[in-house]
Amino acid sequence: MITEITAQELDVNQFIEEKIEEIRGAVGGDTAINALSGGVDSSTVTMLGHRALGDRLRTVFVENGIMREGEAAQVVGFFKKLGVTVEVVDARKEFFGALEGIVDPEQKREAITQTFYKQVFGRIVRDSGAKCLLQGTILTDVDETVAGIKRQHNVFEQLGIDPQQAFGYRILEPLIQLRKDGVRKLGKALGLPEALFDRIPFPGPALAARVVGAVTQERIETVRKATAIVEGFLKDSGAFQYMAILHEDRVTGMRDGKREFGLQIEVRCWESVDARTASPTRLSFDVLEAMAGEITGKVPGVVSVTYNIASKPPSTLEVV
């Protein structure tokens, strides 16, 4: 049983002290690897880990080919300013290879999990001699996985999986008692700039969580372009999270006077505090229309844009 610490209860200074001790105790005289995606959770864990271990922590950003536009360079740049060196590991071939031919959402998540932990981190850990991986799993990830809603990419122990046996290293999860609002409070206290601790959440399975059906390089490129447009329009909306989704359905459209059996993008924008429940943001129709115009105008092959108006539950935030 994991005891939750709510954002209100969280005494950041005491929490930081305790976790630094725990991390130092667990790693001992060894080195550790830390998985950074640039999201709020992994950014916070990176800062905490560096306070605890300094140079004995190697921070790795996995370029899996399913991240957002310019993400690797942006994350490396952010952390350089914070004095943290981030190593980018190119694993694009491995991820696209693992995702080939998979359309089922849970199988997609499983393929990503295995590629991250068994292949990519397995290799990095073996090559570096590190004994543990430090990562930013939070309580919401555990809840949804245990409840059988979604297999979050970063949850093992609660499913009876021993990472030591499965992958050959231990996993430390210092944020596991917190939810998103608590992590933001902690990240701020650890010196993350607002651009990082207030970043909208982004899932571990990345853009693959936003492609219904086959995940190919071409389909990822479509959702990546649409995502950049949606994020550009909604960055000042104050919403909890917003995203573009590529559907499998094709719909008849027209371009240059000709029929085009084209692609369909769904836009979602959520109001939420901790991602457990959420409702759609009441965006103005002017914003929605302008966004649709830009998506159909700039993303090749897209002829239709829809806006989600369902809440969680029964929806979930991501589509996969």
Write out the two tokens for 215: 């995940």
Q: Where are the beta strands (DSSP E) in 160-280?
A: 170-172, 241-255, 258-271, 279-280
Q: Min. distance of Cβ 44 from ligand XMP in angstroms? A: 13
Q: Which is nearer to ligand XMP, 145 or 296 (CB)?
A: 145
Q: Of 38, 49, 65, 203, which lies in the binding site for ligand XMP, with binding defined by CB under 6 A? A: 203
CA pair distance 192, 196, nearest whole angstrom: 6
241 binds ligand XMP (CB under 6 A): yes
CA pair distance 49, 187, nearest whole angstrom: 12
Q: Which is nearer to ligand XMP, 85 or 277 (CB)?
A: 277
Q: Min. distance of Cβ 207 from ligand XMP in angstroms? A: 11
Q: Of 201, 262, 280, 301, which lies in the binding site for ligand XMP, with binding defined by CB under 6 A? A: 201
Q: Min. distance of Cβ 315 from ligand XMP in angstroms? A: 8
Site string for ligand XMP, 206-235 (x = CB under 6 A): ---x--------------------------
Give the DSSP H/E element, type plus range, for residue 111. helix 105-113
* Residues 6 or more apart in contact with residue 239 via CB below 8 angstroms: 200, 269, 270, 271, 281
Site string for ligand XMP, 63-92 (x = CB under 6 A): ------------------------------
Q: Are 249 and 264 in contact (CB under 8 A)?
A: yes
CA pair distance 307, 305, nearest whole angstrom: 7
Binding site for ligand XMP (CB under 6 A): 141, 144, 150, 152-154, 201, 203-205, 209, 241, 275, 312, 316-318
